């Protein structure tokens, strides 16, 4: 039979048919169909890529920044990969959906749920920023938005409230000391969060920045599987004495005065009781504490 013309073959490729399926359509082998495409000068890959956007949305970029600081990876061929334990399947599906139409189907592998995107120049360009000598790095000019921070926290963060103290951790074990300190500096410059490098190479945020951090990321963490990460109900449980800074008193008063929050909502936001908020907004609470601390537990914090 005659070889189908170039327009016909290009249309079949653009419709998503594989080379094998094109051959089957004409009762021919995959090798024959491949030879036809070569004869007609058709680059299958170039046609297939036309189906996809030429750039990421701003939300996708910010989310991927968080993922790359966490559990995301980019393969040499230019495809993003992401996996989590099976219990976080909801989160994997969420990332997969946001990266549509680049993402492929989710599958199970060794107790995890994971997926890949297609190979695409977008991800190949990202790899040039995030990798050096095949090792994932923190870019020199890293910028972290509240969205990126939330996804980083969902990927690799933990919220610890036990006994009479509380803290947050961002696991950065795969990065160098220089890169960890770069991230600490970025958290300070962009969010006014004071963080330190922990002995296990993670980033540690103590009680001074605990509520501020949760306040920043909470609005972006809506998945059931991660509600516990922004739960502050036990943060001040069994406290004996709570001292609150003028800085935080001013912040609570400002939010209450805006009319956007009730005293109960502010209590839930900062992990304190409604009556405690009432005392603050009525300026009847003391003693005052000066300094950088937002909230301090009076012992063992």
Q: What is the mean pLDDT of the chain?
A: 85
If asked whether residues 156 and 211 sit together in one domain, one would say yes
Euclidean distance between CA atoms 86 and 17, whole angstroms: 32
67 and 122 share one domain? yes
| 82 and 129, same domain (yes or no) | yes
Q: Does the pLDDT of residue 290 top 50, yes or no?
A: no
Q: What is the dihedral of CA 116, 117, 120, 124, to 10 degrees?
A: -50
Confidence of residue 244 (pLDDT cuts 50, 70, 90): low
Same domain, 80 and 10: no
CA–CA separation, 36 and 3 (whole Å): 6
Residue 232 lies in a domain: no
For residues 197 and 169, is the Cβ–Cβ distance under 8 A? no
CA-wise closest residue to 90 among 81, 98, 80, 102: 98
Q: Are residues 93 and 29 in the same domain?
A: no
Q: Within this chain, do residues 170 and 198 fall inside the same structural domain, yes or no? A: yes
Per-residue pLDDT at 53:
84
Q: Is there a single domain that holds both residue 196 and residue 259?
A: no
Angle between helices 30-39 and 6-14 (to 10 degrees): 120
How far apart are alpha carbons 154 and 134 in whole angstroms? 25
Using one digit for the tens of pLDDT, what is the confidence trace for 270-282? 777 787 788 788 7
pLDDT at residue 243 greater than cutoff 90:
no
Take residue 284 and report the two structure tokens written for it: 């009847």
**Residue 235 located in a structural domain:** no
Question: Domain containing 16: what range?
Answer: 6-49
Q: 166 and 111, same structural domain? A: no
CATH number for the domain spanning 208: value is: 3.10.28.10
106 and 162 inside one domain: no
Work out how many domains the chain is built from and give that number.
4
Tell whether 209 is covered by a domain: yes
With pLDDT > 90 as the criterion, what percentage of the chain qualifies?
54
With respect to residue 158, please indicate whether it lies within any of the assigned structural domains: yes
Q: Domain boundary at 87, 117, 136, which? A: 136
| Alpha helices, H only, 70-217 | 89-98, 121-130, 146-156, 177-191, 207-217
Are residues 129 and 90 part of one domain? yes
User: Which one, of 258, 260, 257, 244, lies nearest residue 211 by Cα?
Assistant: 244
Q: What is the pLDDT of residue 276?
A: 78
Answer yes or no: do 151 and 201 share one domain. Answer: yes
Residues 132 and 185 in one domain: no
CA end-to-end distance (rounded Å), the chain: 81
């Amino acid at each position: 039979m005659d070889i189908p013309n170039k327009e016909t073959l290009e249309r079949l490729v653009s419709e998503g048919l594989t080379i094998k399926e094109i051959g089957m359509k004409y009762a021919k082998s995959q090798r024959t169909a491949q030879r036809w495409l070569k004869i007609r000068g058709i680059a299958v890959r170039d046609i297939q890529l036309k189906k996809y956007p030429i750039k990421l949305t701003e939300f996708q970029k910010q989310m991927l920044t968080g993922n790359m600081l966490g559990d995301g990876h980019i393969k040499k061929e230019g495809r993003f990969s992401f996996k989590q334990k099976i219990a976080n399947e909801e989160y994997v599906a969420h990332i997969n959906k946001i990266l549509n139409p680049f993402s492929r189907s989710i599958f199970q592998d060794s107790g995890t749920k994971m997926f890949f995107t297609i190979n695409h120049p977008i991800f190949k360009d990202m790899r040039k920023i995030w990798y050096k000598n095949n090792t994932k790095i923190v870019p020199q000019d890293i910028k972290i938005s509240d969205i990126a921070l939330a996804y980083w926290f969902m990927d690799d963060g933990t919220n610890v409230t036990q006994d009479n103290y509380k803290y947050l951790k961002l696991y950065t074990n795969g990065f160098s000391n220089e890169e960890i300190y770069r991230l600490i500096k970025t958290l300070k410059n962009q969010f006014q969060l004071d963080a330190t490098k922990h002995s296990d190479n993670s980033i540690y945020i103590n009680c001074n920045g605990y509520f501020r951090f949760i306040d920043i990321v909470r609005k972006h963490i809506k998945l059931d599987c991660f509600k516990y990460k922004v739960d502050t109900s036990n943060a001040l449980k069994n406290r004996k004495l709570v001292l609150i800074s003028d800085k935080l008193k001013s912040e609570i008063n400002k939010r209450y005065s805006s009319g956007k929050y009730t005293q109960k909502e502010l209590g839930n936001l900062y992990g304190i009781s409604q009556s405690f908020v009432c005392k603050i907004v009525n300026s009847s609470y003391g003693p005052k504490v000066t300094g950088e601390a937002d909230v301090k537990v009076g012992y063992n914090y």
